[in-house]
């Protein structure tokens, strides 16, 4: 056997032993049954994967061996799902699970996670305020708790998530604004954690809403209005985004921030405020999350969770 053959064989077995690598998903695929990616090995077929914070944990069968890869799902601001679509599915929205103080997550939130897993949604959206204030310890504890979630989860940045440190959110949870299309639905995630949306995000929003889709969903932490009489727990200067929402026939806007539950329809858009996933409640509040069913039509229900 010559030295070139030895090198080739050695290289082959070295590849088999590599436990982790990094691949770029060209189309920015986030969720589906099967995708094709490019990277270290050309056109790897990726199956059975789920979204976790900042990375997609991929189990790849290559050279008759399963190899796990980590990739950053937020390489692009706009992500397309180009796997086989599902016409009917459910997703769940929750908001404001942060503890009143300290790093330990509320027990009610841990219990809600168990119940959400039983719902078996396609994915979950967390509406922000995952920690009481931004610190490494607080984010690590949050990630440790949500590791029990079975479906993939997408994040919305809340004001508590940037409190005292505006850089840790990106470190632990990824991009602060992005979008993806699943089937005939568009999902847009915005960051108004500072109380308003800057021009960059407003332009991004307008551009994304021009997509030719049937259903349009927007997620952000602070609502553009406070539905309570005399309430002011809302965005400042919300006029522009309200105009954009109305002009582009957005179906649903999901927010949190107010530790209770409210729903209100303005024009053709349903606004849902859900802030009952574990944080201290307002006097009329209750623990809950939202179950959204997408099929020919969109419907939703409020899943109440009693603190036992």
pLDDT of residue 23: 36
Residue 80 lies in a domain: no
pLDDT of residue 181: 85
Residue 82 lies in a domain: no
Give the count of beta carbons closer than 10 Å to the beta carbon of residue 60.
21
Q: Are residues 20 and 107 in the same domain?
A: no
Residue 243 lies in a domain: yes
Q: Are residues 64 and 137 in the same domain?
A: no
Q: Are residues 212 and 276 in the same domain?
A: yes
Computed on alpha carbons and rounded to an integer, the radius of gyration of the chain in Å comes to 21
Residue 199 lies in a domain: yes
Using the 3D structure, point to which of 28, 47, 73 is the last residue of a domain. Answer: 73
Q: Are residues 113 and 192 in the same domain?
A: yes
pTM: 0.76
Residue 78 lies in a domain: no
Using the 3D structure, point to which of 43, 73, 103 is the last residue of a domain. Answer: 73
Which residue carries 């610190």 as its tokens?
135
Q: Are residues 40 and 108 in the same domain?
A: no
Q: Are residues 285 and 218 in the same domain?
A: yes
Residue 186 lies in a domain: yes
Q: Are residues 69 and 94 in the same domain?
A: no
Q: What's the domain count of the chain?
A: 2
According to DSSP, the residues that pair with 57 across neighbouring strands are: 50, 70
| CATH code assigned at 182 | 3.60.21.10
Q: Are residues 179 and 282 in the same domain?
A: yes
Give the count of beta carbons closer than 10 Å to the beta carbon of residue 135.
15
Residue 254 lies in a domain: yes
The domain containing residue 29 runs over which residues?
3-73
Using the 3D structure, point to which of 31, 47, 73 is the last residue of a domain. Answer: 73
Q: Are residues 189 and 267 in the same domain?
A: yes
Q: Are residues 140 and 65 in the same domain?
A: no
Q: Are residues 69 and 104 in the same domain?
A: no
Q: Are residues 299 and 168 in the same domain?
A: yes
* 54, 57, 267 from 290: Cα distances, Å: 24, 26, 21
Closest of 195, 100, 116 to residue 148, by C-alpha? 116
Q: Provide the b/e sequence for 230-251 (b: ≥16 CB within 10 Å).
A: eeebbbeebeebbebbeebebb
Q: Write 5-13 long-range contacts (CB < 8 A, 24+).
A: 12/63
pLDDT 10s per residue in the chain (308 long)?
Answer: 555 444 444 444 443 333 333 333 333 333 333 333 333 333 333 333 333 333 333 333 333 233 333 333 444 344 444 334 467 899 999 999 999 999 999 999 999 999 999 998 989 999 999 999 999 999 999 999 999 898 889 999 999 999 999 999 999 998 899 988 888 899 999 999 999 999 999 999 999 999 999 999 999 999 999 999 989 999 999 999 999 999 999 999 999 999 999 999 999 999 999 999 999 999 989 999 999 999 999 999 999 987 54
Residue 39 lies in a domain: yes
> Rounded to 5 degrees, what are φ and ψ at 176?
-90, -15
pLDDT of residue 150: 87
- Cα(141)–Cα(97) distance, integer angstroms: 12
């Amino acid at each position: 056997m010559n030295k070139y053959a030895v090198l080739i064989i050695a290289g082959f077995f070295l590849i088999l032993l590599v436990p982790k690598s990094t691949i770029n998903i060209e189309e920015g695929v986030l969720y589906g049954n099967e995708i094709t990616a490019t990277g270290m090995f050309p056109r790897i077929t990726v199956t059975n994967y789920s979204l976790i914070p900042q990375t997609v944990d991929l189990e790849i069968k290559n050279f008759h061996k399963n190899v796990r890869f980590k990739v950053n799902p937020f390489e692009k601001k706009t992500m397309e799902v180009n796997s086989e679509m599902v016409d009917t599915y459910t997703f769940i929205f929750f908001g404001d699970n942060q503890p009143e103080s300290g790093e330990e997550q509320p027990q009610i939130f841990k219990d809600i996670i168990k119940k959400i897993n039983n719902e078996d949604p396609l994915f979950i959206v967390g509406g922000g305020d995952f920690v009481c204030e931004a610190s490494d310890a607080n984010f690590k504890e949050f990630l440790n708790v949500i590791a029990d979630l079975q479906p993939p989860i997408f994040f919305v940045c809340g004001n508590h998530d940037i409190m005292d440190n505006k850089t840790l959110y990106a470190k632990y949870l990824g991009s602060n604004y992005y979008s993806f299309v699943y089937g005939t639905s568009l999902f847009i995630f915005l960051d108004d954690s500072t109380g308003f949306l800057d021009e960059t995000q407003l332009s991004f929003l307008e551009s994304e809403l021009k997509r030719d889709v049937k259903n349009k969903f927007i997620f952000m932490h602070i609502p553009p209005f406070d539905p309570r009489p005399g309430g002011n727990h809302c965005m400042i200067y919300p006029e522009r985004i309200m105009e954009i929402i109305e002009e582009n026939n957005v179906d649903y806007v999901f927010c949190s921030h107010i530790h209770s539950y409210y729903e209100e329809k303005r024009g053709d858009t349903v606004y849902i405020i859900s802030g009952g996933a574990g944080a201290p409640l307002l006097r009329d509040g209750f623990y809950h999350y939202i179950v959204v069913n997408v099929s020919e039509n969109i419907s939703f229900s409020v899943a109440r969770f009693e603190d036992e």
